[in-house]
Chains A and B, each alone.
Chain A
Amino acid sequence: MSSASRPPGEPGLLLRAVLALLLLAAAAGVALALVAGQVAPGLSGAVAAALPDSGASNPVTAVLLNFRGYDTLLEMAVLTAAVVGVWSLGPAPRIRETEPSPVLLGMNSVLIPLAPLICAYLLWAGSSRPGGAFQAGAVLAAAGVLFIISGRRPAVHLPAAPMSWGIVAGLGVFLAVALAVMPGGRELLEYPRGLAGALILLVETAATVSIALILAGLFIGGRPEDEP
C-alpha cells in the first residue's frame, strides 16, 4: 500500500519495520537474559517456613493477604480508582431493552442462583486451597453481567449510594484492618498472632463484595443516574 492511499494516523511501512525490528530485539534480549546465567532460588522456601504464622494454609493466600498484603491493598486501590475513573466519564449508557433470548433466560435461571454459592465456596476455600477474593468476586460479577444483559433489570433504578459504599468497602475494610493492628508497636498490616486467620477472612469478604461490584460497574460503563 502506498503512503498516499493509507488513512491518516496509520503508521507507514518504514515505521512498522522499525517497530518490528525493535520488538524482535526486545524479545531476543528477554530470551537471552532467561538462558544466560543461573536461576536463583525463589522465595518459596521462605514462604513455606513462615506459613504456619500467616493465618492461611494456602501459600498463595498467605503471600497475597499477609506477606505482601500491602501490594494487594494498593491493587484494591487500583480497582477502586478504575471505577471512580469510569464514573467520572458520565452516566451509564442505557442498555437496550430488547426481549432477551429464551436460551439466555433459561441459562440465567440456573446460573445466577448458583453464583453466590460458588462465590461463597471460593472465598472460604481460599484459606487452604486455590480460591480467594478475586476469584469469588469475579464469579459474582459474572452473575451480575448475565443479569444486566438479560434486560430484566428491576423497575427501580440502580441506586448510587449502596453501590458506592459497596465499591469502597473492600479498600476501606482493608485499610481499617491494616491501621487498626498498629497500636501496640506493630507495623502496618502486622496481624496479631492468633487473629491473622479471622482478619484475613474479614478483609477477603469485604474485598469480594467490592471486586464483584467494581467488575460489574466497569461493564455497566458509567455512573448510576442519581449520582451527581
Chain B
Amino acid sequence: MSTWLAALPWMVLAIAIPLLGALAAFVQPRRAQVIGLSFSFLTAGAAVGVVLDFITLGPQQHAVGGWGAPLGIDLVADGLSILMLGMSAVVGVAVSIYARAYFVPYPDKAPRFWPLWLFLWAALNALFQSADVFNLYVTLELMGLSAVALVALTGSGPALWGAMRYLLVSLLGSLAYLVGVALLYHAYGTVDLTLLAERADGGLQLAVPLGAMIAGLLLKTGLFPFHVWLPPAHGSARAPVSALLSGLVVKASFYLVLRLWFTFVPEGEGLPLLLGCLGAAAIFWGSIQALRQKRLKLLVAYSTVAQLGYLFIAFPLAGLEPQMAWSGSIYLALSHAFAKGAMFLAAGAIMTQGGHDEIDELDLVVDRMPLTLAAFALAGISLAGLPPSGGFVGKWLLLESAMAQGKGIWAAIIIVGGLLTATYVFRVLGFAFTRSEHHHERHEVPAAMEWTALLLALGAVLLGFVAPWALPLLDGVLP
C-alpha cells in the first residue's frame, strides 16, 4: 500500500486534482459544496505527497510529455516550491472548511465559488512547480482570471469596481511579463529556467526582459506604489476569498520575483536598493492607512500592503548575508499567509455575526465570539513579529542580517513597522472590548468558521517553532 502510494506522481496530481474538481463542481452546481470540499482535501493530500517525496528523495523533476527542456516543459519541486505548496495546502484546507460553512446562507454563490477556487488552487500549484518562463505566464493568467472572478462573486457595486481594476492591473502585469518572455527567447533561444540561467550573460539583453518581468510581477504583487488596486479588491471580496487573495495570490507573484532573481542573480546595487525603499515606503504607507480605516476588512487589506513591503527589505540586505536575508523574507511570506488568512477569516466571522464591519461598533464582540477574537489577536501577534510566532522568526532573521552588515537604518524600519502593526491590531482589540452606544442585530456564527480561523492563527504562531526544520529545506535554492 505504502509503496503504491509513494509511486504516485504527486507533482502532477497536485495540479490535475484541483482541475478535475473544478470541472466536477461546475457541472454539478447543486452538489458543488460537497464536491469542492472533497477535492480540496485531495489537493492538499497531493501537495503533502510532493513535500514527502522531497523530504525522502530530494528535489523532484517531471518532464511533461517526456521531451525535456528545451523542447518540452519541465516541472521542478525544490525546497522553495514545496514550502509554497505546503503553505497553499494549509491555508487552502482552512479556507475550504470555512467556506463550506460560510456559503450555506448564500445558495446562489456557493456553486460559483468552488470551481473558481479550485481553478485558482490548480494555478498556484502549477506556478510553484513550473520551471519554464512561458508556462509560468499561462499559470499567472489562470491565477489572475480566477482571482478576479472570485472578487466579482460578491456582486456589489464596489466589488465589481474593485474586480475590474484588479483585472486591468493583472492583465497589464501579465503583458509586461510576456514581453520579457518574448525578449528572453529572442536572445537565448529557450524558455527553460535552468537553460536560461546557463546562457544568460548579463548586459542589456538580460536587463530589459528581466526588468519588464519584474515590473509586471510587482504590479501583481501590489508593492507600493502599485498597491492602489489591492485594498478595494481584497477589502470588498467575500471573507474566504479575501483570505485567499491576501494569503496566497500575492505570494505567488512574489515567489516568481524570487525565482527569477535566484535564477539570473542580477548584478548591481541600484535595483535591490530601489526595491528595499519601495518596501519601506509600503510599510509606512500601508500601516498609516490601516490606522485610518473605519472598516475592519479595509484595515486588514491595508495591513497586507504594509506586510508585503517587509518581503522586499531582503533585497538590499542580500549582498553580504544572502542566506539569512532571503530565509527571513521567505519565512515572513509563509507566516503572513497563515496570519493574514486567519485575520480575514476572523473578520468574516465578525461580519457574519454583527452584519457589519465598522471598527468603532465592534460592541463587546469579545463576549460573544472569544474564539474569533483570539484568532484575530494571535494573527496580530505574528504580523507584529512578537515571539514565538513565525513572523518573529522572519523579522528576526532580517534584523540580524541588517545588524550584521551595520545597516541600522533597515533595522530601524523593521522595528518601527512592527510597532505600527501592533498599534492597528490593538486598535481593533480595544473596540472589541468596549460597549457601543448603538444596538446591533446579532446572528449565529457556525463553529466551523470560528475554529478554522483560530487554528490557522495558531499555525502562524507555531510556525515559529518549526523554523529549525523548515529553513534547512531552502539549502541549495538560495544564491
A42 touches B185 (CB 8 A): yes
Given contacts A33-B204, A88-B152, contact A188 B112 (CB under 8 A): no
CB-CB under 8 A from A50, the residues of chain B are: 67, 71
- Taking a contact as CB atoms closer than 8 A, the residue among B67, B148, B209 that contacts A67 in the complex is B67
Contacts of B199 in A (CB 8 A): 40
CB of A225 closer than 8 Å to a CB of B: no
Given A187-B64, A228-B108, CB of A89 within 8 Å of CB of B23: no
Which residues 196-227 of B sit at the A interface, judged by CB distance below 8 A? 199, 203-205, 207-209, 211-212
Tell me the B31-77 residues at the A interface (CB within 8 Å): 62-67, 70-73
A-binding segment of B91-99, B137-145, B420-428, B458-466? B137-145
Query: What is the minimal beta-carbon distance from B118 to any residue of chain A, in angstroms?
Result: 10
B120, closest chain A residue (CB): A81
Question: How many A-B residue contacts, CB cutoff 8 Å?
Answer: 167
Interface string of B140-168 (1 = CB under 8 A from A): 01100110110011010000000000000
Q: Of the 9-residue stretches A112-120, A125-133, A140-148, A164-172, which lies at the interface with chain B?
A: A164-172
- Minimal beta-carbon separation of A20 from chain B (angstroms): 16
| B277 interface contact, C-beta 8 A | no
A37–B145 Cα distance when bound, in Å, is 36
A82: Cβ under 8 A from any B Cβ: yes
Complex alpha-carbon distance, A175 and B24, angstroms:
13
Residues of B within 8 A of A191 (CB): 65
Q: Is the CB of B138 within 8 A of A71?
A: yes
A205 touches B (CB below 8 Å):
no
Complex contact B23–A168 (CB within 8 A): yes
Task: Kindly list chain B residues whose C-beta atoms are within 8 Å of the C-beta of A69.
Answer: 64-65
* Interface status of A134 (Cβ within 8 A of chain B): no
The interface residues of chain B lying within 8 Å CB-to-CB of A187 are 62-66
Give per-residue flags for A84-109: 1 if the beta carbon is below 8 A from chain B beta carbons, else 0.
11011110000000000000000000
Residue A8, interface by CB 8 Å: no
The complex places the Cα of A80 from the Cα of B27 at a distance, in Å, of: 12
- Mask, A24-64, CB within 8 Å of B = 1, is 00100110111011011111001100100000000000000
B185: A residues at CB distance < 8 A = 40, 42
Please tell me which one of the listed residues A68, A85, A171, A188 contacts residue B62 in the complex, with CB atoms under 8 A apart.
Answer: A188
Q: Tell me, yes or no, whether A182 is within 8 Å of chain B by CB.
A: yes
- Among A33, A42, A182, A188, the residue within 8 A (CB) of B209 is A33
In the complex formed, the residue of B with least CB distance to A161 is: B27
Q: A85-B152, A188-B62, A190-B65 are in contact. Are A182 and B12 (CB under 8 A)?
A: yes
User: How far is the CB of A35 from the nearest CB of chain B, in Å?
Assistant: 9
Quick check: B71 and A47 within 8 Å, CB to CB? Answer: yes
Partner of B139, one of A42, A46, A74, A190: A74
Beta-carbon contact of A188 and B149 below 8 Å: no
Given contacts A26-B212, A29-B211, contact A188 B19 (CB under 8 A): no
Q: Are B186 and A40 in contact (CB under 8 A)?
A: yes
Rounded to whole Å, the gap between the CB of A207 and the closest CB of chain B is 14
Return the CB mask of B329-356 against A: 1 if under 8 Å, else 0: 0000000000000000000000000000
- CA A171 to CA B111, docked complex, whole Å: 19
A30 and B179 contact, CB distance less than 8 A: yes
Given contacts A70-B64, A78-B142, contact A33 B23 (CB under 8 A): no
Segment of B187-195, B228-236, B247-255, B429-437 in the binding face: B187-195
Residue B183 lies at the interface, judged by CB distance under 8 Å to chain A: yes
Interface residue B293 (Cβ < 8 Å from any Cβ of A): no
Check: B322 CB closer than 8 A to any chain A CB: no
Q: Contact between A40 and B188 (Cβ–Cβ < 8 Å)?
A: yes
Would A78 and B145 count as touching, CB distance under 8 A? yes
Q: Say yes or no: is A198 at the interface (Cβ < 8 Å to chain B).
A: no
CB of A179 closer than 8 Å to a CB of B: yes
B9 on the A face (CB < 8 A): yes
Query: Nearest chain A CB to B49's CB is how many angstroms away?
Result: 15
B273 contacts A by Cβ under 8 Å: no
A39 to B152, CA, bound (A): 43
Residue A16 interfacial (CB < 8 Å): no
Q: Is B445's CB within 8 Å of the partner chain A?
A: no
B12 cross-chain contacts in A, Cβ below 8 A: 179, 182, 188
Say yes or no: A42-B208 contact (C-beta < 8 A), given A187-B63, A187-B65.
no
Q: Give residues in A with beta carbon < 8 Å to B.
A: 26, 29-30, 32-34, 36-37, 39-43, 46-47, 50, 66-71, 74-75, 77-78, 80-82, 84-85, 87-90, 161, 164-165, 167-168, 171-172, 175, 178-179, 182, 186-191, 227-228
What are 23 A-to-B residue pairs whose CB atoms are below 8 Å?
A: A30-B212, A33-B187, A33-B208, A34-B186, A36-B205, A39-B187, A43-B71, A67-B67, A69-B64, A70-B65, A71-B135, A74-B135, A74-B139, A77-B123, A81-B116, A84-B119, A88-B153, A89-B155, A175-B23, A188-B64, A228-B107, A228-B108, A228-B111
**Which 3 pairs from chain A and chain B are nearest by CB?**
A85-B149, A40-B189, A33-B208
